Amino acid sequence: MPVLVMKFGGTSVATLDRIKRAAKRVGVEVAKGYDVIVIVSAMSGETNKLVGFVNETSQLYDAREYDAVVSSGENVTAGLMALTLQEMDVPARSWQGWQVPVMTTDAHGAARIEDIPSENITRKFNEGMRVAVVAGFQGISPEGRITTLGRGGSDTTAVAFAAAFNAERCDIYTDVDGVYTTDPRVCDKARKLDRIAFEEMLELASLGAKVLQTRSVELAMRYKVKLRVLSSFEEQSDEAGTLVCDEEDIMESNVVAGVAFSRDEAKMTLVTVEDRPGIAASIFGTLADAGVNVDMIVQNVSEKNYKGHEGGVTDMTFSCPVDQVKRAEKALAEAQASGVLNYDRLDTVEEVAKVSVVGIGMRSHAGVAAKMFKVLSDEGINIQVIATSEIKISVLIERKYMELAVQALHDAFELEKA
């Protein structure tokens, strides 16, 4: 029988009533003739509670025991979903990550899936099981310890299972009814997209859209897994939600597919840095070692001579999440104290936001950047940093102008129109 993967997020399984609702959706797909693999998250709020328990118990906790604790929420949901399906006379069985097994690296708290052997679940399907309910977010390390995949990891689990079992489709059920041109809470003209290309979804996810975890989209694009994002709380139909698919499966794309934003950004500038080969590697190697996620980078070259060095000096500006500023400041100060880096000062601005326009149509259309910059200029919004890729243009602006910028760009590119 064909295989379908269905993933239910925390809000979709937050109560026993919601688990029953989700189980009914699974039953509909079983009746259509599918063998179904259901990936479940922990009940809404449960993982945060478990993380809190760990932090109260030990500030310097053992990451292996952290994974053992926080992965338990998904185990509970999987068992409850299997019991609910059995009450509906649907042959179902729950599976924890180690039982499948979901083979991962040993990076506890941020493990990556390396392999999902299909033999165990396939054998049970052949014996009459119709639904395998798998605990998402978890796996097993080469040492045989429980691992977790990082927050949002159940999305990645679902896509990985769809790839491993050559599933017809992977349906991601959440609390929104699809992927929108931007966040409807910021722009009331936001429109739900029927289809979006993998590359566009990957950019939107990495730029702040919370619908899908970035790693899950990367995996879907690599293995050509068709993803459908839809709501657990609305009527089900074949046209529901948003299909994330290959660019070739979309008849005609708009130049811009969506506007993404990230509110909690910071801009950091190293002033008067020695301008020499390897300086960028020293700066960003230091930040990487400290676990700082650097995004936008701008280098400004100065002709000023720096302590006799030929080539002068430069200012290096980059952005990072605002909650990583202290970590970045500490790492750079230590690098300066040890002689790895020389700079006059570090300027930090925390009240900034990143706004981006994304669309595969940019490849064949000129003038998108000019139009974006003109729109922001007309609204009196100053651009502090610019970064571009083949299908994305991102800018850093003052945070207080973020919503205005999103609304203005959404209107300018007429994203409310199909």
Residue 184 is predicted with a pLDDT of 87
Give me the domain span that covers residue 66. Answer: 3-175
Q: 101 preceded by cis ω (within 30°)?
A: yes
The CA distances from residue 390 to 199, 382, 397, in Å, are: 10, 23, 21
Whether residue 279 is contained in a domain is answered as no
Within a domain: 310: no
Q: Is residue 198 in a domain?
A: no
pLDDT of the residue at 60: 84
From first to last of its 418 residues, the chain has per-residue pLDDT tens of 899 999 999 999 999 999 999 999 999 999 999 999 999 999 999 999 999 999 999 888 999 999 999 999 999 999 999 999 999 999 999 999 999 999 999 999 989 999 999 999 999 999 999 999 999 999 999 999 999 998 889 999 999 999 999 999 999 998 888 888 998 889 989 998 888 998 998 888 877 666 787 888 999 999 999 999 998 887 766 667 899 988 877 766 678 999 999 988 999 999 988 888 888 999 999 999 998 999 899 987 654 544 544 557 889 999 999 999 999 999 999 999 999 998 999 999 999 999 999 998 888 888 999 999 999 999 999 999 999 888 899 999 999 999 999 999 999 999 998 7
pLDDT digits (tens, 9 = 90+) for 116-167: 999 999 999 999 999 999 999 999 999 999 999 988 899 999 999 999 999 9
181 within 8 A of 191, measured Cβ to Cβ: yes
Has residue 150 been placed in a domain? yes
CA triple 166-170-172, angle to 5 deg: 160
pLDDT for 410: 96
- The predicted-structure confidence for 287-296, as pLDDT tens digits, reads as follows 999 989 998 9
pLDDT for 409 equals 96
Tally of structural domains, the chain: 1
Q: What CATH number did the domain enclosing 27 receive?
A: 3.40.1160.10
Position 283 in a domain: no
* Domain assignment of residue 202, yes or no: no
The residue type found at 242 is T
Binding residues for ATP: 7-10, 174-175, 180, 185, 210-211
Q: Which residues are annotated as a binding site for substrate?
A: 47, 74
Question: What per-residue confidence (pLDDT) applies to 261?
Answer: 92
Residue 346: in which H helix or E strand, if any? strand 345-358
The encoded tokens of residue 308 equal: 């006799």
Do residues 9 and 105 touch, judged by C-beta distance below 8 A?
no
> Residue 52 falls within a domain, yes or no?
yes
**CB within 8 A of 223, min separation 6: which ones?**
159, 162, 163
- Which pair of tokens denotes residue 299? 């280098």
Q: Quick one: pLDDT at residue 417?
A: 85
What residue numbers does the annotated binding site cover?
7-10, 47, 74, 174-175, 180, 185, 210-211
Task: Say how far apart CA 358 and CA 393 lie, in whole Å.
Answer: 7
Gap between the Cα atoms of 335 and 333, Å rounded: 5
In a domain, 109, yes or no: yes
Q: What is the pLDDT of residue 208?
A: 60
pTM for the structure as a whole: 0.81
DSSP for residue 169: E
